[in-house]
Amino acid sequence: MSAEWIKYAVRRPETAGVYRWRVPHQAIKGVVVEVSAEMRTRGAGYKEVLSPEFDHWDGRTVRVPPGTEWLADPVQRGIEIVEHPLAPCRWCGKHHAIDAMLVGLSGGVMINPGPHELNHWMVTACAWAKSPAYRDPCELIREWNSRHAGGTTKESI
């Protein structure tokens, strides 16, 4: 298992499976989304290619967002924002991942967006702690951390 992030433009995974990916967000400057996603075989015109599940087939080429990096890490984890850790929940003490979705202009939820396209971010934790959706994941993390870091914990109840 590799311990260092590898630039997708330099070298691609050679086998199908789950990998950990870092993808710069397309709309929020400076935000890099980290997510587990599958590298799988897909049709690309007249041939089969190995590519991540968040790729885009434009009719000629399978494209992956510029700046994408990968790590051979089979552990399934949720979405994380690089360099912005989420504090553990003050109610259950667990470290939760961020959930996100892509909501279209008309309000519909888009199916299978790439991590670089997500635009509604939330934390779904225990029964006591759920956040509203935020458009900026850094704002969500700041708000979550201000409410959960150093607050009442299950040990002090």
Structure tokens at 157: 């109840």
Distance between CA atoms of residues 120 and 136, nearest Å: 7
The whole-angstrom distance between residue 73's C-alpha and the CA centroid of its chain comes to: 14
Higher pLDDT, 142 or 155: 142
Give the CA radius of gyration of the chain: 17
Q: Is 25:31 a contact under the CB 8 Å cutoff?
A: yes
Letter for the amino acid at 143? E
Query: For 103-131, what is the mean pLDDT?
Result: 83
Q: Is 141:81 a contact under the CB 8 Å cutoff?
A: yes
Question: Which range among 47-51, 110-114, 119-123, 132-136 shows the weakest confidence by mean pLDDT?
Answer: 110-114
Question: pLDDT category, 150, cuts 50, 70, 90?
Answer: low
Give 69-85 pLDDT, tens digit per residue: 999 987 777 888 988 88
Query: For 39-50, what is the mean pLDDT?
Result: 86
Helix H or strand E encompassing 84: none
Q: To the nearest whole number, what is the mean pLDDT of the chain?
A: 86
